[in-house]
Structure 1
Amino acid sequence: MTTTTGHRTFDSFDPATGAVVGTHPIHDAVEVRAAVAEAGVAATWWAGLGWAERRRRLLDYKAVITRDLARIVGVVHRETGKPKADATLEVVLAITHLDWAARNARGVLGPRRLFPGLVAANVAATLEYLPLGVVGVIGPWNYPVFTPMGSIAYALAAGNAVVFKPSELTPGVGVLLAELFAEAVPEQPVFRTITGLGETGAALAGDPGVGKIAFTGSTATAKRVMAACAANLTPLVAECGGKDALIVDADADLPAAADAALWGALSNAGQTCAGVERIYVVDAVYDEFMGELTRRAAAVRAGRDYGPITMPAQLDVIRRHIDDAVAGGRAVVGGPESVRAPFVDPVIVEDVPEDSAAVREETFGPTVTVKRVADAEEALRMTNAAAYGLAGTVFSGDVRRAMDLARRMRSGMTSINSVISFAAIPALPFGGIGASGFGRIHGADGLREFSRPKAVSRQRFALPGMNLTSFTRGQAELDRLVRVVTFLHGRRKR
């Protein structure tokens, strides 16, 4: 669509009804460059405010979001189709992360003295973390507040300005978040939103004025974003989805495990990167667990307990994976008939071959595969065989064993006897390995992700007879150095 002013626009839709929710401009490369340039000026001002003033203003922003929580929830509901209760939970979690980032930035990133070692005893060593300048955030549609705010809040707290490109499916959420920030910080465009399609995101990733890109989306899109960043050696933090597994050990609380597995698999219509797409159950409790799982799943309905598939094209992937799973396994809840666009009812398939697309590829729908295993070690091997490595879950009555399984699970995050609980803890970093991406948001690691370490060494006094970085040094000084090093490091530990 083109307006009378010649500006191209696009519409966002309610995925449940197809109704137009809003119309937004498609910002081109020239407009993106102007936005980044303005953000660069704002970044200097924002960094110059200092820790205390940024903290105060970010807490003001938190208060504004909290005041307008219902308004934000309404936009999320209309653009994603998710129930308002789920949208409310998402916004509340974003508020807690914003609060943590604002209150902890100085303690994590501020200057601190380090021990210089005996060889450099005359030198004071200081480490601090400085802002990058402008951070570009490219956000997803499945959690359009919580996920991008995991980058936006921490980048702002670290002293950066932010240019945010939300998904073309949820642009209204991104526009509203920036408008509310301007109420708390009206002086400069420290946080601004640009809207558009893939070309807008590519322009942001390829802009030389951007100090870092935070991207959330598919692995395939992440590779394209990474290629755009490469032109300017712009660093990237990428969260690219997962194929996360839940392990049920022989001594697990089975009703709790089934309840958590169902929520992890079906909430938000299964459109959760850190949700549950695979379940491995120890043989001794398999039948009892499946009874619990199928009984609970029978009471869950799409359109009532969770919303539609937000991205229409994902329906084709979901159909293909259901067909693939049923061809190799046995559907115990739902099946191909569960796809009734734009909704998909719960689908549970057991005994699906491990080399099938339904087990190996991210489905991003309300489906889950269940596999009987001999023991938890076999479950762990199957869990770790995936290319993805975002998150996972262990249910076990033995805390020590559960911790051991969690540590050895090839993932960035693991929940024990709960599902996705790490996302609600601001102090914990969020991110994956392998095809799930790299880098971290949230927590102290998330604050450092959006800053650069600055090391400063200051000579406090000269060491007599030990001027080693001078052409005037003699053999005696080198001999003295070797004696010191030998004393400190020359003895083997027994």
Structure 2
Amino acid sequence: VTDTIISRNPLTQTEVGTVYKTNPSTLDNILKGSVSAQKKWRQLRVKERASILKQVRKQLVKKSDEFISLISEETGKPFWDSFIEVMTAAEHLKYMCSHAPLVLSQEKRSPGIFIHKRTYVRYFPHGTAGIISPWNYPLILTASPVVEALLSGNTVVLKPSELTPITGNKIRQIFIDGGIPKDVFQVVHGFGDTGAALVESPITDIICFTGSEKVGRIIAESCGKQLKPSILELGGCDPMIILEDADLSRSVSAAVWGGFSNCGQTCISAERIYVMDSIADSFIERLKKEVLNLTQSDSPERADIGGMINQNQKQAVKSFLNETRGEGIIFHLDDKKITEDSSCFLPPTIIEIDRSSSLSTQSEIFGPVIMVTRVQSEKEAINKANDTEFGLSASVFSKNLRKARRVAGQIRAGSVCINDINSNYICASLPFGGVGVSGIGRVHGPEGLKAFSQVQAVCEDRLGLKKELWWFPIADVTKKWFKRFFKFWYG
């Protein structure tokens, strides 16, 4: 058994770097150091913590080219995809640092009928946050919960994916270079057992996990037994509804980008498209033409899309494609590439799914596959969109905004885009998370900051009386007065 993890470019198999796995005793020491550091970190005002994290953003911008290159090396994605990830992380840092002092400030609350009381809410950190991040967006899906946890006054122990460990180390380095104390943000490396140790440790006070539904359920069970709060982002099988009056040009472009960016390895990828039958032929033909214009290669400078993260992921998507043969594959770019096992490439694929099939709604594909289903009505589109246990994101396209909003309001999902796709994630003010098996809790926006915070309700006496009227002993006249007041005030 080796004590190192070698990171390789999935498309070229060249070595990117090596990290040492964190052994149990080292992990325990790291967690203890995190607890000690948190006592001082939490004493800083939110504004002071935000000031430090602003310097982290400057470090990210300064080293953006290095990040773009590294992310593309470890994941096989094009430079453009990596740039979008870096920009999104910078936007997230900018928003959070600007708004955290207000979001986490003391909030005055109404005392109701007790006008002689002063009531307010204040926020304080959980303690040590264990964050387990994935490989598909190794910067932004790591940086966003780390930033929110730190701004809220927690210390962080991060376990990045074993497929992108070098990016995980580089993320920590810019935080340290920006002024975050070393024990306040630490990184551990390993496989599932390391993540499990982080979750099961009595030292971690909150867990944030982004990954598969299967692992998410295990983490939820473990946290539940410990009564430990958790934030779980567990993927989706997102629907896209194209109504009859949709702008076809924009809808098609959105479908191609939403379905094939990052080679479809996106939790909010447009996997299921429900298009009105009257415009379906035109939509599919345009979709095929745009897909033909995509460039797929191992050249990150020139490619529109790269490849799968590894052979296991490729084989999983191939298995799904084989299952759908009877459903009717309409189009794919290169049949030979689908059966070729020597590379991590899979071509963008469009499938038309039979209206009666449930195959496309109950599993996340996580690959360059778009499934198109013709529908006869708005109601049918909504029903099919909701016919899944997932509920992460969705999109609706129509020139009639009132109609689009009505449809969007009936979609069971954590977020919905109207005449757009995936832009909600880049909007740092919006909460991100799902319903159903897509997860629990939210990151981003004020909700993300508060998710990493404990809430304390405070009620203060303002008059300094010797006793309240309802304290013992209670006079009969007081009881009568309260009953009369009750009927007058609430009746």
Report the TM-score when normalising by structure 2.
0.95
Aligned position for 1:349: 351
What amino acid does structure 1 have at the position aligned with 2:486?
Answer: V
CA distance in 2, matches of 1:354, 1:302: 33
CA distance in 1, matches of 2:473, 2:6: 73
Aligned position for 2:489: 488
- 3-state secondary structure, aligned to 1:144: coil
Q: Is the 8 A contact 2:332 2:347 kept in 1?
A: no
Structure 1 residue 461: Cα displacement = 1.1
Structure 1 residue 174: Cα displacement = 0.7
Which is worse superposed, 471-480 or 172-181? Answer: 471-480
1:182 has 2:186 as partner: no
1:228–1:351 distance in 2 versus 1, CA, 3 Å: closer
Aligned position for 1:23: 18
Residue in structure 2 matching 1:46, options 32, 41, 47:
41
Alignment of 1:94-493 (within 5 A): 94-118=89-113, 120-185=114-179, 187-303=181-297, 304-334=303-333, 337-339=336-338, 340=340, 341-352=343-354, 355-461=357-463, 467-468=469-470, 470-490=471-491
Structure 1 residue 211: Cα displacement = 1.2
CA distance in 2, matches of 1:211, 1:113: 27
CA distance in 1, matches of 2:449, 2:181: 24
1:111–1:133 distance in 2 versus 1, CA, 3 Å: same
What amino acid does structure 2 have at the position aligned with 1:235?
Answer: P
Instruction: Report the identity percentage.
Output: 33
Q: Is the 8 A contact 1:249 1:395 kept in 2?
A: yes
Aligned position for 1:85: 80
What amino acid does structure 2 have at the position aligned with 1:375?
Answer: S
What amino acid does structure 1 have at the position aligned with 2:146?
Answer: I
Structure 1 residue 279: Cα displacement = 0.3
The Cα offsets for residues 230-287 of structure 1, whole Å up to 9 and x where unpaired, read as 3422111100000001000000000100000011111000000001001000112111
What amino acid does structure 1 have at the position aligned with 2:165?
Answer: P
1:163–1:103 distance in 2 versus 1, CA, 3 Å: same
Structure 1 residue 360: Cα displacement = 2.4
Q: Is the 8 A contact 2:431 2:445 kept in 1?
A: yes
Report the TM-score when normalising by structure 1.
0.95
CA distance in 1, matches of 2:82, 2:358: 33
CA distance in 1, matches of 2:165, 2:355: 39
Q: Is the 8 A contact 1:394 1:405 kept in 2?
A: yes
What amino acid does structure 2 have at the position aligned with 1:32?
Answer: L
The Cα offsets for residues 337-359 of structure 1, whole Å up to 9 and x where unpaired, read as 44243000111011345545444
Structure 1 residue 99: Cα displacement = 1.4
CA distance in 2, matches of 1:352, 1:438: 32
The Cα offsets for residues 186-210 of structure 1, whole Å up to 9 and x where unpaired, read as 5442111111111111111111111
1:376–1:334 distance in 2 versus 1, CA, 3 Å: farther
Structure 1 residue 80: Cα displacement = 0.2
- 3-state secondary structure, aligned to 1:277: strand
Q: Is the 8 A contact 1:329 1:353 kept in 2?
A: no
What amino acid does structure 2 have at the position aligned with 1:489?
Answer: Y
What amino acid does structure 2 have at the position aligned with 1:121?
Answer: I
CA distance in 2, matches of 1:328, 1:335: 19
CA distance in 1, matches of 2:395, 2:334: 25
Aligned position for 2:300: none
Residues paired across the two proteins, number: 483
Structure 1 residue 478: Cα displacement = 2.1
Q: Is the 8 A contact 1:430 1:440 kept in 2?
A: yes
- 3-state secondary structure, aligned to 1:129: strand
Structure 1 residue 56: Cα displacement = 0.7
Q: Is the 8 A contact 2:355 2:374 kept in 1?
A: no
- 3-state secondary structure, aligned to 1:48: coil
What amino acid does structure 2 have at the position aligned with 1:361?
Answer: S
The Cα offsets for residues 350-374 of structure 1, whole Å up to 9 and x where unpaired, read as 1345545444211100001101101
What amino acid does structure 2 have at the position aligned with 1:155?
Answer: A
What amino acid does structure 1 have at the position aligned with 2:482?
Answer: L
CA distance in 2, matches of 1:465, 1:351: 72
CA distance in 1, matches of 2:42, 2:197: 25
The Cα offsets for residues 77-97 of structure 1, whole Å up to 9 and x where unpaired, read as 110010111101101101111
Q: Is the 8 A contact 1:65 1:180 kept in 2?
A: yes
The Cα offsets for residues 54-74 of structure 1, whole Å up to 9 and x where unpaired, read as 111010111111111111111
Aligned position for 2:6: 11
1:356–1:112 distance in 2 versus 1, CA, 3 Å: closer
Aligned position for 1:5: none
Could you tell me which runs of 5 or more consecutive residues in structure 1 were left unpaired when the two chains were aligned: 3-7
CA distance in 1, matches of 2:224, 2:23: 20
Structure 1 residue 464: Cα displacement = 9.2
- 3-state secondary structure, aligned to 1:110: coil
What amino acid does structure 1 have at the position aligned with 2:58?
Answer: A
- 3-state secondary structure, aligned to 2:283: helix
What amino acid does structure 1 have at the position aligned with 2:483?
Answer: V
Which is worse superposed, 427-436 or 480-489? Answer: 480-489
- 3-state secondary structure, aligned to 1:163: strand
What amino acid does structure 2 have at the position aligned with 1:28?
Answer: N
Q: Is the 8 A contact 1:330 1:352 kept in 2?
A: no
- 3-state secondary structure, aligned to 1:461: coil
CA distance in 2, matches of 1:335, 1:188: 49
- 3-state secondary structure, aligned to 1:313: helix
- 3-state secondary structure, aligned to 1:343: coil
1:464–1:191 distance in 2 versus 1, CA, 3 Å: closer
CA RMSD of aligned residues (A): 1.6
CA distance in 1, matches of 2:23, 2:359: 37
Q: Is the 8 A contact 1:331 1:348 kept in 2?
A: yes
